[in-house]
């Protein structure tokens, strides 16, 4: 029972969520989609489509950019991936599986991104939900900063 066993069962749970989603939407399980979810699962932190494309290519998977975008949309819709668009840059994604939501501080000068979770943001969400009788299903809280 090494670390790989644990990670594999976690990946299995991830895969199961996606396959259930595909089934519910009448979409098929293709080898391309499998390759994409395996790679997305293994990537840590933020990544863009180009990074994913290059990694899959290095592993000799034939996955077009169109398929990549489409599969990422499906992953986002199924809640397994979060998508962000910071500034005018390319969309960045990150694996959201069993990860609580967080927010970002960008330091454009260095290109660094700080991730944070703050109870006040959660409190604000609850308060807005109650005030407007809504359920907030997505968020995009970004602060821009300069290093002192
Ligand atoms: Zn993040």
Residue 3 has a pLDDT of: 47
Question: For residue 109, how far is its CA from the centre of ligand 1 (angstroms)?
Answer: 18
**May I ask the CATH class of domain 1-99?**
mainly alpha
pLDDT in tens, 80-116: 999 988 877 789 999 999 888 899 999 989 988 899 9
What's the rounded Cα separation, in Å, for the pair 12 and 129? 34
Question: For residue 50, how far is its CA from the centre of ligand 1 (angstroms)?
Answer: 18
pLDDT in tens, 22-60: 999 999 999 999 999 999 999 888 999 999 999 999 999
Question: For residue 44, how far is its CA from the centre of ligand 1 (angstroms)?
Answer: 10
Task: Indicate the pairing of strand 142-144 with strand 103-107.
Answer: parallel
Other C-beta atoms lying within 10 Å of the C-beta of residue 46: 16
What's the rounded Cα separation, in Å, for the pair 64 and 57? 10
pLDDT-derived band of residue 5, with 50, 70 and 90 as boundaries?
low
Question: For residue 148, how far is its CA from the centre of ligand 1 (angstroms)?
Answer: 22
The domain limits of the chain are: 1-99, 100-148
> What pTM does this model have?
0.81
Domain 1-99 and domain 100-148, same fold? Reply is no
Question: For residue 105, how far is its CA from the centre of ligand 1 (angstroms)?
Answer: 9
Question: For residue 86, how far is its CA from the centre of ligand 1 (angstroms)?
Answer: 11
pLDDT-derived band of residue 148, with 50, 70 and 90 as boundaries?
very high
Q: Take residue 102 and report the two structure tokens written for it.
A: 């967080």
CATH fold for the domain made of 100-148: Dna Ligase; domain 1 (3.30.1490)
């Amino acid at each position: 029972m090494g670390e790989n066993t644990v990670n594999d069962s976690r990946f299995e749970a991830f895969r199961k969520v996606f396959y259930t989603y595909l089934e519910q939407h009448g979409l098929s399980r293709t080898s391309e989609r499998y390759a994409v979810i395996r790679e997305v699962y293994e990537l840590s932190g933020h990544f863009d489509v180009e990074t994913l494309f290059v990694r899959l290519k290095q592993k000799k998977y034939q996955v077009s950019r169109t398929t990549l975008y489409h599969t990422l949309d499906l992953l986002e819709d199924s809640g397994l991936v979060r998508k962000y668009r910071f500034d005018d840059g390319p969309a960045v994604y990150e694996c959201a599986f069993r990860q609580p939501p967080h927010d970002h501080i960008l330091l454009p000068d260095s290109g660094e991104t700080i991730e944070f979770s703050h109870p006040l943001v959660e409190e604000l969400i609850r308060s807005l939900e109650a005030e407007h009788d809504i359920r907030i299903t997505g968020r995009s809280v970004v602060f821009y900063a300069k290093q002192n």
